[in-house]
Amino acid sequence: MPGWSITAEPRACDVTELAARLRRAGCVFAEDEARILTDAAICDGVLDADLLETLVRRRELGEPPEHIVGYVEFAGLRLSVGPGVFIPRQRSVFLASSTLDAVRDAGEQPVVVEAYCGVAPIASVIAAGVDARAPELIVVDHSPAALTHARRNLPAAVRVERAALPGEMDAVLRRAGVLGSVDVMAAVAPYVPGTLRDLLPAEATDHEPADSHDGGPDGLDAVRGLIDGARRWCSVRGVMLLECHRDQATAALPHAADRGLDCRVRLSDDGQTAVLEVRVPR
Ligand SMILES: C[S@@+](CC[C@H](N)C(=O)[O-])C[C@H]1O[C@@H](n2cnc3c(N)ncnc32)[C@H](O)[C@@H]1O
């Protein structure tokens, strides 16, 4: 199961009973979730039965387990999340590792931006993965709730900026003194086509903000907005890495090519997740 880890060992009968209850509520990973909720209800080594009951009721009402326990496991990191914010998806580990490779290739102290950062999973992986040549890291989102978690997930030196994208990116970069100098920009922008949002699982539609999913009619509004900013924001040979579905990545290629940008699509091993790589040519 993606996303969580278990440290406590509740009695087998408790877990079995709880799992049966969660299964009746429609939870697919009932055993794992029973353990995770039990683990979250252990305070100073003692199971708080009232707290456990509260957590289980929230889960029975359909709240995502990550919002309930307050974390998600992502690329070996435990990231803070909570109600009202987008939960990083396991498929974005592909973007995180692609970004880490790009940062390592970018020379000394590169300028690295995570746009539409949410709780900042990509920047967190970068911060944890490149210590010797520390990059200058900036993360940007318009959601105060998401940025509260981003702040918890990142080292203090990272600039955490609240801004409406793509329009306010120029101002963010100018304030930081790096307009035109970004070496690597990564984003999981909202990329669900507006008409398809209702097809997402209820955990997403009911518990994550609509604007964290809705990417306009074809899902590419935000992606095109980032591509349009590439030449103003990035250095020569600077690269943007943008997660989307593979069909969307292919559809966005002409938009980048028309702007004279070098671009290609990289696919994850299962072929389902794409990273559109856009580079400012020499
Ligand atoms: C798909 S979520 C991705 C979050 C994060 N990158 C991740 O993978 O977990 C998209 C994020 O874009 C933010 N967002 C949506 N519209 C925005 C806008 N116009 N300006 C800035 N952030 C925006 C949402 O708050 C949300 O956190």
Residue to substitute in 66, 67, 85, 86 for testing ligand 1 pocket (most ligand atoms within 8 angstroms of CB): 86
Tell me what pLDDT residue 130 has.
Answer: 86
Residue to substitute in 212, 220, 242 for testing ligand 1 pocket (most ligand atoms within 8 angstroms of CB): 212
Sequence-ordered list of residues with C-beta below 8 angstroms from that of 167, at least 6 positions apart, any chain: none
In angstroms, the Cα distances linking 73 to 14, 93, 104 are 24, 11, 23
Joined tokens for residue 61: 């009402």
Tell me what pLDDT residue 11 has.
Answer: 52
18 CA → ligand 1 middle, Å = 34
* DSSP letter, residue 192: B
Cβ–Cβ < 8 Å for 140, 147: no
Tell me what pLDDT residue 2 has.
Answer: 42
* Superfamily name and number for 90-279: Vaccinia Virus protein VP39 (3.40.50.150)
- Looking at ligand 1, which residue's alpha carbon is closest to its atom 26? 212
For the chain, the structural domain boundaries read: 12-69, 90-279
Is 146 close to ligand 1, i.e. is its CB under 6 Å away? yes
Whole-model pTM?
A: 0.93
Cβ–Cβ < 8 Å for 190, 199: no
Tell me what pLDDT residue 1 has.
Answer: 40
Q: Residue 41 and residue 43: Cα distance in Å, rounded?
A: 6
Is 81 close to ligand 1, i.e. is its CB under 6 Å away? no
Angle at 248 between CA 246 and CA 250, to 5 degrees: 70
199 CA → ligand 1 middle, Å = 19
259 CA → ligand 1 middle, Å = 24
pLDDT tens-digit profile, the chain (282 residues): 445 555 555 554 578 999 999 999 999 999 999 999 999 999 999 999 999 999 999 999 999 999 999 999 999 999 999 999 999 999 999 999 999 999 999 988 999 999 999 999 999 999 999 865 568 999 999 999 999 999 999 999 999 999 999 999 999 999 999 999 999 999 999 999 999 999 999 999 999 999 999 999 999 999 999 999 999 999 999 999 999 999 999 999 999 999 999 999 999 998 878 999 999 998
